[in-house]
Structure 1
Amino acid sequence: MHVTGKGYGRVCLAGLVCAKPGRRTRLMHRTLIRRGRPGEVKGFGPRQLSALLDAAHAQLGGPIVLVWDNDRRHLSAAMRAVIEARSWLTVFQLPAYAPELNPGEMGWSQCGLRRTVRS
């Protein structure tokens, strides 16, 4: 997937790779364009991530098992509340640094993108 943010400021992308035995694998994603305007959403927060999860659940029609890295947005109290409110959602947290367990890390390096992690 080619995404360009040239002239727009910053393009944020959140995606899910959805795999179900015996079915085609799907990629579900949402983009968020940030132009740096006052009061503008700066990135994906619990509300945007929960909307993506709800859309995936509605489209797939079954429980979801989610494997997440340790991005600060995934670990927030608000996101934990979102997870707790959805009985159809099971979340596994990857260890702090485990690129061998997270194929997405290899994808970032292959496409020339660098993911930055802020403390």
Structure 2
Amino acid sequence: MSAYAWMDEALCAQTDPDAFHADGSGHGYRAAASICGACPVRKECEAFADRLEGTLSHRDRHGMWGGRVPRRRSARAAATAKQQRDALILRLAARGGMSPEEIAATAGCEVRTVHRVTAAHRDSHGTAA
């Protein structure tokens, strides 16, 4: 079975593709939202868009995928990236042996982010991070 077999069941494949691209009036996604809302493969479509677009900004995303407009998909991707970064910071801090500067360099963030994440974890869990 193909990794794209789910697309055969996509309701968007049975309608006008232009419905999934905004017309600039701000109301261009109404028809697409209705179609996506009833689609049996919406989750697969969302996951596909996530893999396809990665960390692109909303300006570089186009059309509705999985019932989400570009700005919503971008915000969701940013939140996921932040969660993954914070989880990495906490794993490295818990392992010990690395300075906040080394953790920041590994996680690709500022030292103050390391301090903020570990402090928030400590405050919410009452543990040393």
TM-score exceeds 0.5: no
- Please tell me the TM-score bracket, short chain as reference: under 0.3
* TM-score normalised by the chain length of structure 1: 0.26
Higher helix share: 2
